Amino acid sequence: MAITRSNVLTNAAARQQYTQGVTLLKTEFTGPTTTTLGIAGPSRPVSTYDLFVVWHHTAMSTLTPATQGDRNAAHRGPVFCPWHRFMLYQLELNLQRVLNDVTFGLPYWDWAADGQRSAADQKRSGIWAAGALGGSGSPVKTGPFKYNAADPNSFRVRIEADVNGQLVQRNRGLRRTLGTQISTLPNTADTGGTRGMIPYDTAPWDTSSTGFRNRVEGWAPPAAPALHNRVHVWVGGDMLPSSSPNDPVFYLNHCNVDRLWEAWLTQNGRTYAPLQTAPAFLRGHRINDQMSSLISARMRPADVLDMRSIYVYDALDA
């Protein structure tokens, strides 16, 4: 039976389980070290949670191929939606494992609903409450991921991408600068037309493409950054670099993006482009290409087009 993914602001149990599960994964060490992962500095164990941070950075650093601009193994091209769906699914499985609850569904943050509020009220959304994900700050000082210098077990950023795009070791609190770099979140007018945008993607398969993928990723006009990209910029802090999964809100953002894609798939058919007959320079983005992985066996975009036997959303309104 499929699990249900629900709104993080309306399902207190899912919200509490999510923060608990993240904390458990952050303190779980199964063998990988900074040395085995090629991260400079002393050899230190890397938590399961931080392996996802490394995975995301690695995918962003893998161009497909280098001659094709900045399209990488997870972004700026067609695989954006399926790769992040694959990543969310692997995180969800790990959360179910540490929570010992196979019915747990990863919650989503409907940021477009918050985007209907005033700029000031957006920063006061319930998601930033102490009982949810905590608020803004450098470091964050409220909620389950707050920083306490005197407590070595408090939530800490251990691995991040530096200004040169290299993974480095850190020992600091989580950072957020809500509404500082850009004043408002996307709203329902921004998401409302995405379900009817066809096709899924088009040549040249990059940030200039028309179609659903480029719109939901947030490169498409009329207002860029939009949708997914705008959320990253609005949250700011640790949501900005390639190590953005350091902030647990990363997954709630992407779960909402996945919900928008599921609404699109429901309306337009479980289709994907480019097909395998597309040119080799699109490797990693074609329907039967293996997607970048660090956590589990690889999957293909074709494998994730229909996940309804595994999970469904409580609502697909976009």
Residue 68 domain-assigned (yes or no): yes
The answer to whether residue 85 sits within a structural domain is yes
Q: Which amino acid is at 62?
A: T
Instruction: Sort strands 311-313 and 3-5 into parallel, antiparallel or unpaired.
Output: parallel
Does 316 have pLDDT greater than 80?
A: yes
Structure-block tokens of residue 124 = 């006061």
Q: Give this prediction's pTM.
A: 0.97
Tell me the pLDDT tens digit for each residue of 211-262. 999 999 999 877 789 999 999 999 999 999 999 999 999 999 999 999 999 9
Tokens 């943050």 belong to which residue?
109
**pLDDT tens digits, residue range 144-182?**
999 999 998 899 999 999 999 999 999 999 999 999 999
Range of the domain at 91: 3-313
Establish if 10 belongs to a structural domain. yes
Would you state the pLDDT for residue 67? 63
Nearest to 292 by CA among 71, 128, 119: 71
The alpha-carbon radius of gyration of the chain (Å, integer) is: 19
In a domain? residue 284: yes
How many independent structural domains does the chain possess? 1
User: Does some domain include residue 318?
Assistant: no
Whether 161 is covered by a domain: the verdict is yes
The CATH number given to whatever domain includes residue 66 is: 1.10.1280.10
Encoding tokens for residue 16? 């509490």
The Cα–Cα gap between 121 and 175 comes to 20
The residues, ordered by sequence, that sit 6+ positions from 70 with a Cβ below 8 Å of its Cβ are: 63, 76, 207
Does residue 299 form part of some domain? yes
In sequence order, the 6+-apart residues with CB closer than 8 A to the CB of 255 are: 5, 88, 106, 107, 108, 109
- Assess if residue 295 is contained within a domain: yes
